Amino acid sequence: MILKHKDIEIPADEPFKNCKLSRKTYAEVLTSMISSYADGFVLSLNNPWGTGKTTFVKMWRAQLANAKYTTLYFNAWENDFDADPMVALMSELGTLTDKKKDDTFNSLIEKAAVISHSIIPGLLKALAAKYIDTEVLRALLTDAGKGATDLLKDEIVEYAKKKKGLVDFRKDLEKYIKENTDGKPLVLFIDELDRCRPSYAVEVLEQVKHFFSVPGIVFVLSIDKTQLGNAIRGFYGSEQIDSREYLRRFIDLEFVLPAPPANAFVEYLYQYFGFDEYFRHAERNHRDLSYDKEEFVKFTNLLFTFNGLTLRQQEKLFSHARVTLRTFPYKNYLFPSVFILLIYLKDFHAGLYNQLVARLVPPQTILDELSKILPPEVYEDEQTAYIITEATLIKLYNNYYKEINYGAKIYKQDDDRNTILLIKPYTDKTEGHKKFINIMDHLTSRNGGDAKLSYLLNKIGLLDNFQDV
């Protein structure tokens, strides 16, 4: 059984072959953009963490290689142990050629040595002066002026030297790129920048802008703009900085990968983690479990879509669900939609999950809390999946709740033997909540109708071997 989702294999000859998110088209659009603006620019791929940016970048890079583009991949997070990103970036550039024999690269190294320490923290902060309180800048200049008379001449000479060094460095860099890219722009991917130390993230941006921004290089920044903005504010020590305006200095174009259809990725994860094996065996043991797979997949799609879970979050929930499923004998009932709902609640709504575990509140309180995390309105074809989940959860919970709250009831029979609910469901809007009642009646009439919620909770909490169900 697979426990953890592994990196997707990327065949060199067909990079998007194993892509389950239909993203090849986006790579083609971005490639045409690069070919149209071959002189170079900075492109950001702006998506939250866990949405598959790194996988997309690696697939796109392989596709660019097939189209004879020269590409480099720089994982900023893996390199932020070093104080100066110049070293790491130059190291990546050095992979384009035999460094010992390349006169242009050797000259480039010499120029880099002149400017690599020219951006000291104080001056770097001054670059953001218009985004921060002027008092900060004034204090910086005041401190710099103390005893600076004797150093001023040396600093001026050093500044002129570094300014000329920067010009020379960029000339050599442009020449080096032309000599090693066969007439096409170099595409340099910078990934995981938003995970770096704030100081390192800002230095990478500054060096890309001031040192490496020359004709012939296209930078692709794979970022979560919100997280990178937090890093920028953290570096400058001010919540008043407009990080979006700050980033506009560096980024020429921004692209957001559209969210994939949830059903496509859920179906992929369902197959990848081998859920079908369990449901096939379960169906052989109980004929009335023949719809469990359909119920599980449909409700999982609805749950993940409405709550906007990232791909990584979906993977984690599927992994947890599959591990838990190993503790279920095939002959046992799963109550599939409640099963995945509980796993979701455990990670994302711990308060409600803990209420279910503690069983100290009545079923109506659970319904009221559940209404806060379910959609206010659902389409007719989705309604049944929600009602099944809500009715099953409340039925199992009440069976569990009654153990310590004797006589607790969620329905009664009138004189004509009709079922009257003593609770108010959230998803069933029909008169008398007939759908909700029908599902509870079905649960009562079949095997497993007396099951308690602890049956699922103990397995999900991996406690099944430590306490009685």
What does the pLDDT read at residue 221? Answer: 94
Query: Length of the chain, please?
Result: 469
HEC string for 160-213: HHHHHHHHHHHHHHHHHHHHHCCCCCEEEEEECHHHCCHHHHHHHHHHHHHCCC
pLDDT digits (tens, 9 = 90+) for 429-467: 888 889 998 888 888 776 666 889 999 999 898 654 434
Determine, yes or no, domain membership for 63. yes
- Residues 130, 266, single domain; the answer is no
356 φ, ψ (degrees, to nearest 5): -65, -40
pLDDT band at 134, cuts 50/70/90?
A: very low
Contacts by 128-134, CB closer than 8 A, 24 or more apart: 128/236, 128/241, 128/246, 131/236, 131/238, 131/240, 131/241, 131/242, 131/245, 131/246, 132/236, 132/238, 132/240, 132/241, 133/238, 133/240
What does the pLDDT read at residue 464? Answer: 44
- Residues 371, 240, single domain; the answer is no
pLDDT digits (tens, 9 = 90+) for 73-127: 999 998 887 667 888 888 888 888 876 667 888 888 887 777 765 433 433 343 3
What does the pLDDT read at residue 336? Answer: 92
Q: Tell which of 255, 273, 292 closes a domain.
A: 255
- Residues 61, 168, single domain; the answer is yes
Region 173-198: mean pLDDT is 90
Residue 419, H or E segment:
strand 419-421
Asked if 51 contacts 265 with a C-beta cutoff of 8 angstroms, the reply is: no
Q: Which residues contact 160 (CB under 8 A, 6 or more apart)?
A: none
pLDDT band at 282, cuts 50/70/90?
A: low
Q: Nearest Cα to 140, choosing from 118, 121, 161? A: 121
Distances (CA, A) of 164 to 159, 198, 212: 9, 29, 15
CATH of the domain at 159: 3.40.50
Asked if 77 contacts 192 with a C-beta cutoff of 8 angstroms, the reply is: yes
Determine, yes or no, domain membership for 11. no
What does the pLDDT read at residue 137? Answer: 42
Tokens of 390: 């809500």
Determine, yes or no, domain membership for 101. yes
Asked if 351 contacts 407 with a C-beta cutoff of 8 angstroms, the reply is: no
Asked if 355 contacts 365 with a C-beta cutoff of 8 angstroms, the reply is: yes
- Residues 159, 222, single domain; the answer is yes
- Residues 236, 287, single domain; the answer is no
Determine, yes or no, domain membership for 375. yes
What does the pLDDT read at residue 143? Answer: 52
Q: How many domains does the chain contain in total?
A: 2
Residue holding tokens 């004929």? 287
- Residues 230, 270, single domain; the answer is no
- Residues 250, 290, single domain; the answer is no
pLDDT band at 289, cuts 50/70/90?
A: low
Determine, yes or no, domain membership for 203. yes
Q: Tally DSSP H helices, then E strands, for the chain.
A: 21, 7
Determine, yes or no, domain membership for 422. yes
SS3 132: coil
Asked if 43 contacts 253 with a C-beta cutoff of 8 angstroms, the reply is: yes
Burial 191-210 (b: 16+ CB within 10 A, else e): bbbbbbebebbbbbbbbbee
Query: What is the percentage of the chain residues whose pLDDT exceeds 90?
Result: 36
Rounded Cα gap, residues 3 and 320, in angstroms: 8
Determine, yes or no, domain membership for 2. no
Q: Tell which of 255, 283, 314 closes a domain.
A: 255
- Residues 240, 375, single domain; the answer is no
The strands making up 217-223's β-sheet, listed across from edge to edge, are 71-75, 186-191, 217-223, 42-46, 253-255
Rounded Cα gap, residues 375 and 427, in angstroms: 9
pLDDT band at 260, cuts 50/70/90?
A: confident
SS3 422: coil
- Residues 168, 308, single domain; the answer is no
- Residues 325, 198, single domain; the answer is no
Q: Nearest Cα to 2, choosing from 332, 343, 277? A: 277
Region 214-228: mean pLDDT is 92
- Most confident residue range from 156-165, 299-308, 408-417, 441-450: 299-308
What are 45's strand-pairing partners? Answer: 222, 255
CA dihedral of 90, 93, 98, 99, whole degrees rounded to 10: -20
- Residues 218, 329, single domain; the answer is no
Between residues 263 and 361, the one the model is more confident about: 361
Residue 139 belongs to what domain range? 24-255
Q: Tell which of 255, 287, 307 closes a domain.
A: 255
Determine, yes or no, domain membership for 89. yes
- Residues 456, 383, single domain; the answer is yes
* pLDDT averaged over every residue in the chain: 82
User: Does the pLDDT at position 212 exceed 70?
Assistant: yes
